[in-house]
Amino acid sequence: MRDKLNLRKLILCLSVFSVLVTLLNTFHSIYRVQHELVVNNTIESNRVYAVKMAEMTDTFIDSALSQLEYSASIISRRMLEPLVLQQEVNRLRTQTDSFNSVVIVNADGVIISVSPETIEVKGVQLTEESALQSLNAKTPLITNPFVSPAGNYLTSMSYPIFSENGDYLGYVAGTIYLDQKNILRTILGQHSYKDGSYLYVVDKHQTLIYHPDPQRIGEVITNNEAIRAVSRGEEGGQAIVNSQSVDMLSGYAPVKHAGWGIIAEKPEELVLSMLDDQMWHMFIESLPISVLIFLIIWVSSIFISKPLWQLASVVKSFESHNSTKQDLNEVKPWYFEASYLKRSFLSTFNIVSSTIDQLHLDTLTDPMTGLLNRRGLGKAIDTLRAQKTPFSVLALDLDYFKKVNDSFGHDVGDDLLVSVASMLKAQAREVDIVCRSGGEEFIVFLVKTDIHQAKLVAERIRKSIALNKFDAVEHVTISIGVSHWSAEDEPISATLKRADDALYQAKHNGRNRTELDLFK
């Protein structure tokens, strides 16, 4: 019966599929790497810019507080001279663009001087809790945003006024109108918005005190991870979904003197649109090469199919002919694929044999520590008995291992067993046999070693484990029982029993010690 698909078609389909998958995987990998790179670079750029703006704002606040401090020192000596007070607030407001208005409030909370004088609040008694922040603080303060008696939404920087005797006289404050043109707009409004990015400022209560959209000033934002982080005084950057449900790449930094936070953001969609354009251009550029590759595959499949068909015939003859080796030899030797597959058949037998050996080894070893298990121990004992090789036995048991499992968990206990097993292998010679007999118990066969030498080895092992600092557990101890088999008539099982008895004696005598069984 004729097959529906011949070898040439199968090779062609497989090759085309492989190339398509490779191309798709390449494009996908490039896109993922470039996506991560572009996003991380944008976040880092925004973070650096936010830090720069925060430093500039801190510098402005330092300067503004210094101006207020100087005015407070002048006012403290002339608090009862209204004309001097008016001149001072006018000077403080007009000498820089730091403040929209300047006021002096006495200790009773009454505004006694204001600039500009067009603000009709002179003589007004402050009663609102928000307006009394500076009066109650009696220290240099940057207030939370509030509505002033004149109806302006503002934040103020104030400096207390004290007499020479230390009496509190009130404070002088410069205000920044958050809903009007102000110094923050001057400092922060220089940010370029052509690429869709923008910058805004929040106070420690997550209230917008500066935003490119003036209508949003005063809005409290509670669902923005960047705002939450910077309100806690953190500096950094991350991809977020803002309060308008737009994916943004944000960098942020705190303004330390004010408790504010500056956030620089850029829509992720704008950042990735350029990457999408680049990937599309790459796809168009790669089309001619891809078509050429497909043509080469089609032509190559024609030449490849004939020798592979010959090899397929040989494989098919396995069921109908006994001379399989002769059939393989009929394939022309210059054909690399056939020769390689022929060698593969031979190597398969070797692999199967090796696998069986490995499976046999796995049955003899403990999977966790890599030491011999009880079955492996039995094989080792049979070998020593057959060769009549004398040896000493060390029966070892970790002290209080149950407490380790109860206190730190079985994972830590397992790690401890692996570490102890490694130390035992390191202390043993190449001819010695180390095995895990169960739980926290180990057995070491010291080949051609008398019991006194074995005790020295046991003590070296015991001390090294006691002095070693293990992860989590730090320090553990081990008890050891020692016995000797001299290739006489005594069963090895009796020697093992005597080592266990010596181990029990070591436990009974206080643990962390070595006991000998001197039976002869």
CA–CA–CA angle 105, 111, 115 (5° rounding): 95
**CA-to-CA separations, 62 to 59, 98, 146, 234, 255, in angstroms, rounded:** 5, 11, 22, 21, 11
Contact 223, 250 (CB under 8 A): no
Q: Residue 46 and residue 51: Cα distance in Å, rounded?
A: 9
Using alpha carbons, select from 183, 146, 171, 145 the residue that is nearest to residue 63: 183
Collapsed DSSP state (helix, strand, coil) of residue 181 = coil
Other C-beta atoms lying within 10 Å of the C-beta of residue 360 = 9
**CA-to-CA separations, 257 to 52, 108, 127, 147, 183, in angstroms, rounded:** 15, 27, 27, 22, 16
Q: Residue 100 and residue 184: Cα distance in Å, rounded?
A: 11
Of residues 88, 265, 440, 515, which has the active-site annotation? 440
Active-site residue 440, yes or no?
Answer: yes
Q: Which residues contact 215 (CB under 8 A, 6 or more apart)?
A: none
Using alpha carbons, select from 509, 438, 448 the residue that is nearest to residue 480: 509
Helices (H), 191-322: 225-231, 268-316
CA 341 to chain centroid: 46
Q: Residue 212 and residue 312: Cα distance in Å, rounded?
A: 74
Q: Which residues contact 493 (CB under 8 A, 6 or more apart)?
A: none
Q: Residue 396 and residue 394: Cα distance in Å, rounded?
A: 6
Return contacts of 298-303, CB within 8 angstroms, 24+ apart.
298/12, 300/15, 301/8, 301/9, 301/11, 301/12, 301/15, 302/8
Catalytic residue list: 440
